[in-house]
Amino acid sequence: MAAERVYDDWHAKDSQRTLVTIRPTVVFGEANHGNVYNLFRQIAAGQFLMIGFGNNQKSMAYVENIAAFLYFVTKLKAGRHIFNYVDKPDFTMDQLTEIICLALQKQKSNLQIPYSFGLLAGYCFDLLAKIKGKNFPISSIRVKKFCARPQFKSNAIAGNEL
């Protein structure tokens, strides 16, 4: 937000300038080792465990779709343009893990643990991490992120419509 204010001030000095702000959701793609990559890795290794019911929807964006959108916005006329970028449709965590399991030819586990138990385990690992001075793949923040509903509406053209 602070950076956007700086650019808004820049644009206000000359309204004939073109200023485009793109606010993407979670981005995934080749060579990205973020949360989506880790989900694939855990499922591939047989180490994935669903926390909660898996009905929380996630908005995501594929990096090549964002790249195509970036090219599209280079053609915009002068003015202030703000876009929230999301690829649709949004998937629930249950749907997403099912798609990944199919792609990896892995059997989907039906084992689910309640959110409260997963969060408690996360706090225990937080404490252990503090004592040992090392991070673990499970933490309360990761459990909260996994079960969150980062679902957004897009005012951008979907990647496949460019």
Q: What is the pTM of this model?
A: 0.74
The answer to whether residue 16 scores a pLDDT higher than 90 is: yes
Task: Determine the pLDDT at residue 17.
Answer: 94
CB pairs under 8 A, 24+ apart, for 72-79? 72/157, 72/162, 73/20, 73/22, 76/18, 76/20, 77/18, 78/15, 78/16, 78/17, 78/18, 79/15, 79/18, 79/19
Mean pLDDT of the chain: 89
Query: Would you place residue 38 in the very low, low, confident or very high pLDDT band (cuts 50, 70, 90)?
Result: confident
Instruction: Catalogue all structural domains in the chain, each as residue range(s) with its CATH number.
Output: 2-114 (3.40.50.720)
| Residues 110-127: tens digit of each pLDDT | 889 999 999 999 999 999
Average pLDDT of the residues in 129-142: 92
